[in-house]
Amino acid sequence: MKPSISPQDHARVLAEGIDIPQQQPSFGLPLPEVGICGKTVWVRLPEGLIPFTARLEVNLAAQVRGIHMSRMEEVIAALYDKEFSDLREYGLQLGREMMARQGASSGRVRLAGQLPLIRTARVSGRQSVDSIAVSLDLKLAGQGEELESVAMFGVGVAHITACPCTQAYNQTLFRKEGDDCPLPTHSQRSQTTLSLQSAGLSPSTAALLACLEAALHVTQDLLKRTDEAQLVYTSHSLPQFAEDAVREVARCAGERFGRALPPETLVVIESLSLESIHIHDVCCRLETSLAEIVRYL
Protein backbone atom coordinates (compact mmCIF):
# COMPACT_ATOMS: atom_id res chain seq x y z
CA MET A 1 0.00 0.00 0.00
CA LYS A 2 1.25 3.47 -0.88
CA PRO A 3 0.99 6.20 1.75
CA SER A 4 -1.82 8.65 1.09
CA ILE A 5 0.02 11.56 2.69
CA SER A 6 3.38 12.66 1.29
CA PRO A 7 6.46 13.07 3.49
CA GLN A 8 6.53 16.73 2.48
CA ASP A 9 3.01 17.29 3.78
CA HIS A 10 3.87 15.57 7.07
CA ALA A 11 6.97 17.76 7.44
CA ARG A 12 4.96 20.91 6.71
CA VAL A 13 2.25 20.09 9.26
CA LEU A 14 4.82 19.27 11.93
CA ALA A 15 6.55 22.58 11.28
CA GLU A 16 3.38 24.67 11.20
CA GLY A 17 1.07 22.76 13.54
CA ILE A 18 0.34 23.33 17.21
CA ASP A 19 1.55 20.99 19.94
CA ILE A 20 -1.86 20.46 21.54
CA PRO A 21 -0.68 18.77 24.80
CA GLN A 22 1.53 21.78 25.50
CA GLN A 23 -1.34 24.24 25.26
CA GLN A 24 -3.06 25.89 28.21
CA PRO A 25 -5.95 23.80 29.60
CA SER A 26 -9.41 25.29 29.93
CA PHE A 27 -9.09 24.94 33.70
CA GLY A 28 -5.58 25.39 35.07
CA LEU A 29 -5.56 22.71 37.75
CA PRO A 30 -2.36 20.66 38.36
CA LEU A 31 -2.78 16.89 38.15
CA PRO A 32 -0.58 14.66 40.34
CA GLU A 33 -0.73 11.43 38.30
CA VAL A 34 -1.37 11.17 34.56
CA GLY A 35 -0.10 8.41 32.30
CA ILE A 36 -0.75 5.09 30.63
CA CYS A 37 -1.94 1.81 32.15
CA GLY A 38 -2.72 -1.73 31.05
CA LYS A 39 0.58 -1.65 29.16
CA THR A 40 2.72 -4.78 28.77
CA VAL A 41 6.42 -4.08 29.10
CA TRP A 42 9.12 -6.68 28.46
CA VAL A 43 12.03 -6.59 30.90
CA ARG A 44 15.33 -8.42 30.43
CA LEU A 45 16.20 -9.81 33.86
CA PRO A 46 18.57 -12.60 34.97
CA GLU A 47 15.53 -14.93 34.78
CA GLY A 48 14.97 -14.06 31.09
CA LEU A 49 12.73 -11.75 29.07
CA ILE A 50 9.75 -11.30 31.38
CA PRO A 51 6.42 -9.51 30.66
CA PHE A 52 4.98 -7.14 33.25
CA THR A 53 1.76 -5.16 33.34
CA ALA A 54 2.68 -1.52 33.78
CA ARG A 55 1.00 1.64 35.04
CA LEU A 56 3.20 4.68 34.35
CA GLU A 57 2.36 8.18 35.55
CA VAL A 58 3.88 11.65 35.87
CA ASN A 59 2.61 14.89 37.35
CA LEU A 60 1.15 17.52 35.03
CA ALA A 61 1.62 21.23 35.67
CA ALA A 62 -1.37 23.57 35.78
CA GLN A 63 -0.39 25.28 32.52
CA VAL A 64 0.04 22.03 30.52
CA ARG A 65 -2.99 20.39 28.90
CA GLY A 66 -1.78 16.81 28.57
CA ILE A 67 1.07 14.33 28.43
CA HIS A 68 2.75 13.05 25.26
CA MET A 69 1.86 9.35 25.30
CA SER A 70 4.25 8.53 22.45
CA ARG A 71 7.16 9.69 24.62
CA MET A 72 6.19 7.10 27.22
CA GLU A 73 6.27 4.43 24.53
CA GLU A 74 9.61 5.69 23.22
CA VAL A 75 11.19 5.16 26.62
CA ILE A 76 9.75 1.63 26.85
CA ALA A 77 11.03 0.79 23.36
CA ALA A 78 14.50 2.18 24.13
CA LEU A 79 14.84 -0.04 27.21
CA TYR A 80 13.69 -3.24 25.49
CA ASP A 81 17.18 -4.41 24.46
CA LYS A 82 18.87 -3.49 27.75
CA GLU A 83 19.51 -5.95 30.57
CA PHE A 84 18.77 -5.18 34.22
CA SER A 85 19.95 -6.83 37.43
CA ASP A 86 16.48 -6.61 39.00
CA LEU A 87 13.06 -5.07 38.53
CA ARG A 88 13.88 -2.01 40.66
CA GLU A 89 16.80 -1.06 38.41
CA TYR A 90 14.48 -1.20 35.39
CA GLY A 91 11.77 0.80 37.14
CA LEU A 92 14.21 3.49 38.21
CA GLN A 93 15.60 4.00 34.71
CA LEU A 94 12.14 3.91 33.16
CA GLY A 95 10.82 6.45 35.66
CA ARG A 96 13.78 8.79 35.34
CA GLU A 97 13.61 8.89 31.54
CA MET A 98 9.83 9.21 31.28
CA MET A 99 9.88 12.13 33.73
CA ALA A 100 12.63 13.86 31.77
CA ARG A 101 10.77 13.52 28.46
CA GLN A 102 7.54 14.84 29.97
CA GLY A 103 9.23 17.66 31.90
CA ALA A 104 7.74 16.27 35.11
CA SER A 105 8.90 16.75 38.70
CA SER A 106 7.36 13.52 40.01
CA GLY A 107 6.52 10.12 38.63
CA ARG A 108 5.26 6.71 39.54
CA VAL A 109 6.06 3.31 38.05
CA ARG A 110 3.90 0.33 38.97
CA LEU A 111 4.79 -3.10 37.60
CA ALA A 112 3.17 -6.48 38.26
CA GLY A 113 4.04 -9.87 36.85
CA GLN A 114 5.49 -13.29 37.54
CA LEU A 115 8.98 -14.73 37.63
CA PRO A 116 9.80 -18.38 36.91
CA LEU A 117 10.87 -20.47 39.87
CA ILE A 118 12.32 -23.97 39.80
CA ARG A 119 11.35 -25.90 42.92
CA THR A 120 12.50 -29.32 44.05
CA ALA A 121 9.98 -31.61 45.73
CA ARG A 122 10.97 -32.60 49.28
CA VAL A 123 10.55 -36.37 48.90
CA SER A 124 10.80 -37.36 45.24
CA GLY A 125 13.38 -34.74 44.34
CA ARG A 126 11.48 -33.93 41.15
CA GLN A 127 11.81 -30.41 39.79
CA SER A 128 8.70 -28.32 39.21
CA VAL A 129 8.61 -25.23 36.99
CA ASP A 130 6.49 -22.81 39.00
CA SER A 131 6.11 -19.05 39.29
CA ILE A 132 6.01 -16.37 41.96
CA ALA A 133 4.18 -13.06 41.80
CA VAL A 134 6.33 -9.93 41.92
CA SER A 135 5.32 -6.29 42.06
CA LEU A 136 7.00 -2.89 42.17
CA ASP A 137 5.49 0.45 43.17
CA LEU A 138 8.18 3.09 42.66
CA LYS A 139 7.58 6.75 43.51
CA LEU A 140 10.00 9.36 42.15
CA ALA A 141 10.43 13.06 42.91
CA GLY A 142 12.94 15.69 41.78
CA GLN A 143 15.15 15.92 38.71
CA GLY A 144 18.62 14.86 37.59
CA GLU A 145 21.03 14.13 40.41
CA GLU A 146 18.45 15.33 42.94
CA LEU A 147 16.01 12.58 42.01
CA GLU A 148 14.72 10.71 45.06
CA SER A 149 12.88 7.40 45.02
CA VAL A 150 10.88 5.20 47.36
CA ALA A 151 10.20 1.62 46.27
CA MET A 152 7.62 -0.85 47.51
CA PHE A 153 8.71 -4.29 46.32
CA GLY A 154 6.59 -7.38 46.86
CA VAL A 155 6.76 -11.15 46.36
CA GLY A 156 3.78 -13.49 46.55
CA VAL A 157 3.45 -17.28 46.73
CA ALA A 158 0.72 -19.90 46.62
CA HIS A 159 0.40 -22.12 49.68
CA ILE A 160 -1.99 -24.46 51.49
CA THR A 161 -3.73 -23.77 54.78
CA ALA A 162 -5.59 -26.30 56.91
CA CYS A 163 -8.34 -25.06 59.23
CA PRO A 164 -7.47 -25.54 62.94
CA CYS A 165 -11.12 -25.32 64.07
CA THR A 166 -12.53 -28.42 62.38
CA GLN A 167 -9.40 -30.35 63.23
CA ALA A 168 -9.68 -29.50 66.94
CA TYR A 169 -13.33 -30.58 66.89
CA ASN A 170 -12.43 -33.90 65.25
CA GLN A 171 -9.62 -34.45 67.72
CA THR A 172 -12.11 -34.25 70.57
CA LEU A 173 -14.63 -36.35 68.69
CA PHE A 174 -12.45 -39.14 67.27
CA ARG A 175 -9.04 -39.10 68.98
CA LYS A 176 -7.75 -42.52 69.97
CA GLU A 177 -5.11 -42.88 72.65
CA GLY A 178 -1.61 -43.06 71.19
CA ASP A 179 -2.70 -41.88 67.75
CA ASP A 180 -0.58 -38.88 66.75
CA CYS A 181 -1.71 -38.63 63.12
CA PRO A 182 -3.42 -35.26 62.47
CA LEU A 183 -7.15 -35.66 61.96
CA PRO A 184 -9.11 -34.38 58.92
CA THR A 185 -10.00 -30.75 58.35
CA HIS A 186 -10.80 -28.64 55.32
CA SER A 187 -7.86 -27.11 53.47
CA GLN A 188 -7.56 -24.14 51.14
CA ARG A 189 -5.40 -22.82 48.37
CA SER A 190 -4.06 -19.48 49.57
CA GLN A 191 -1.99 -16.62 48.23
CA THR A 192 0.18 -14.48 50.49
CA THR A 193 2.31 -11.48 49.52
CA LEU A 194 5.09 -9.79 51.47
CA SER A 195 5.99 -6.23 50.44
CA LEU A 196 8.59 -3.89 51.92
CA GLN A 197 8.97 -0.18 51.21
CA SER A 198 12.16 1.72 51.84
CA ALA A 199 14.01 4.71 50.40
CA GLY A 200 17.30 2.84 50.72
CA LEU A 201 18.44 -0.75 50.42
CA SER A 202 15.65 -3.31 50.26
CA PRO A 203 15.69 -7.13 50.27
CA SER A 204 16.11 -9.16 47.11
CA THR A 205 13.45 -11.36 45.55
CA ALA A 206 15.23 -14.40 46.98
CA ALA A 207 15.25 -12.93 50.52
CA LEU A 208 11.53 -12.15 50.47
CA LEU A 209 10.77 -15.58 49.00
CA ALA A 210 12.83 -17.32 51.69
CA CYS A 211 10.82 -15.49 54.35
CA LEU A 212 7.52 -16.65 52.85
CA GLU A 213 8.73 -20.23 52.47
CA ALA A 214 9.87 -20.34 56.10
CA ALA A 215 6.45 -19.21 57.36
CA LEU A 216 4.02 -21.01 55.01
CA HIS A 217 3.26 -24.42 53.52
CA VAL A 218 4.24 -23.38 49.99
CA THR A 219 2.81 -25.45 47.15
CA GLN A 220 4.14 -26.41 43.73
CA ASP A 221 2.73 -27.87 40.53
CA LEU A 222 4.76 -31.05 40.06
CA LEU A 223 4.21 -33.33 43.05
CA LYS A 224 4.42 -37.12 43.10
CA ARG A 225 2.30 -39.10 45.55
CA THR A 226 5.07 -39.10 48.15
CA ASP A 227 5.37 -35.30 47.90
CA GLU A 228 1.62 -34.80 48.12
CA ALA A 229 1.41 -36.99 51.22
CA GLN A 230 4.24 -35.07 52.88
CA LEU A 231 2.76 -31.64 52.08
CA VAL A 232 -0.73 -32.59 53.28
CA TYR A 233 0.68 -34.18 56.45
CA THR A 234 2.82 -31.13 57.25
CA SER A 235 0.04 -28.61 56.62
CA HIS A 236 -2.35 -30.59 58.83
CA SER A 237 0.25 -31.02 61.55
CA LEU A 238 0.73 -27.23 61.64
CA PRO A 239 -2.69 -25.87 60.58
CA GLN A 240 -3.04 -22.14 59.86
CA PHE A 241 -5.76 -19.53 59.61
CA ALA A 242 -5.20 -16.70 57.13
CA GLU A 243 -4.47 -14.67 60.27
CA ASP A 244 -1.76 -17.17 61.24
CA ALA A 245 -0.23 -16.92 57.79
CA VAL A 246 0.06 -13.14 58.04
CA ARG A 247 1.44 -13.22 61.59
CA GLU A 248 4.03 -15.90 60.80
CA VAL A 249 5.25 -13.99 57.76
CA ALA A 250 5.47 -10.85 59.92
CA ARG A 251 7.45 -12.76 62.55
CA CYS A 252 9.87 -14.01 59.90
CA ALA A 253 10.23 -10.53 58.38
CA GLY A 254 11.07 -9.10 61.80
CA GLU A 255 13.64 -11.79 62.54
CA ARG A 256 15.31 -11.62 59.13
CA PHE A 257 15.20 -7.91 58.33
CA GLY A 258 14.90 -6.25 61.76
CA ARG A 259 18.60 -5.40 61.96
CA ALA A 260 19.30 -5.14 58.23
CA LEU A 261 16.73 -2.47 57.30
CA PRO A 262 15.73 0.90 58.81
CA PRO A 263 13.13 0.68 61.61
CA GLU A 264 10.73 2.90 59.65
CA THR A 265 10.62 0.44 56.73
CA LEU A 266 6.98 -0.10 55.74
CA VAL A 267 5.83 -3.72 55.77
CA VAL A 268 2.64 -4.86 54.03
CA ILE A 269 1.48 -8.48 54.22
CA GLU A 270 -1.70 -9.65 52.48
CA SER A 271 -3.22 -13.12 52.49
CA LEU A 272 -6.20 -14.48 50.58
CA SER A 273 -7.68 -17.87 51.44
CA LEU A 274 -9.91 -19.44 48.76
CA GLU A 275 -12.22 -21.27 51.12
CA SER A 276 -13.12 -24.84 50.20
CA ILE A 277 -16.30 -25.33 52.26
CA HIS A 278 -17.59 -21.74 52.20
CA ILE A 279 -18.84 -19.60 49.35
CA HIS A 280 -16.96 -16.60 50.72
CA ASP A 281 -13.18 -16.26 50.85
CA VAL A 282 -11.08 -15.01 53.76
CA CYS A 283 -8.71 -12.06 53.56
CA CYS A 284 -6.23 -10.62 56.01
CA ARG A 285 -3.95 -7.59 55.67
CA LEU A 286 -1.26 -6.06 57.85
CA GLU A 287 0.36 -2.68 57.20
CA THR A 288 2.91 -1.62 59.77
CA SER A 289 6.53 -0.66 60.31
CA LEU A 290 9.43 -3.02 60.76
CA ALA A 291 10.07 -1.47 64.17
CA GLU A 292 6.54 -2.32 65.31
CA ILE A 293 6.99 -5.96 64.32
CA VAL A 294 10.34 -6.18 66.09
CA ARG A 295 8.71 -4.76 69.21
CA TYR A 296 6.52 -7.88 69.45
CA LEU A 297 9.29 -10.42 68.88
Supply the pTM of this predicted model: 0.93
pLDDT of residue 7: 87
Q: Where in the chain is the domain with CATH 3.10.270.10?
A: 27-146, 155-297
Contacts of 69-74 with CB under 8 Å at 24 or more apart are: 69/36, 71/98, 71/101, 71/102, 72/35, 72/36, 72/98, 72/101, 72/102, 73/36, 74/101
Band of residue 202 on the pLDDT scale cut at 50, 70, 90: confident
pLDDT of residue 175: 75
pLDDT of residue 172: 87
pLDDT of residue 143: 82
- In angstroms, what CA-CA distances link 236 with 143, 162, 168, 190, 217? 54, 6, 11, 15, 10
What does the pLDDT average to over 213-222?
Answer: 97
Query: Does the pLDDT value for residue 145 go beyond 80?
Result: no
Instruction: Please give the angle made by the CA atoms of 37, 190 and 231, to the nearest 5 degrees.
Output: 135
**What fold is seen in the domain 155-297?**
Urate Oxidase (3.10.270)
What does the pLDDT average to over 10-15?
Answer: 90
Look up the CATH superfamily of 27-146: Urate Oxidase; (3.10.270.10)
Band of residue 266 on the pLDDT scale cut at 50, 70, 90: very high
What does the pLDDT average to over 87-115?
Answer: 96
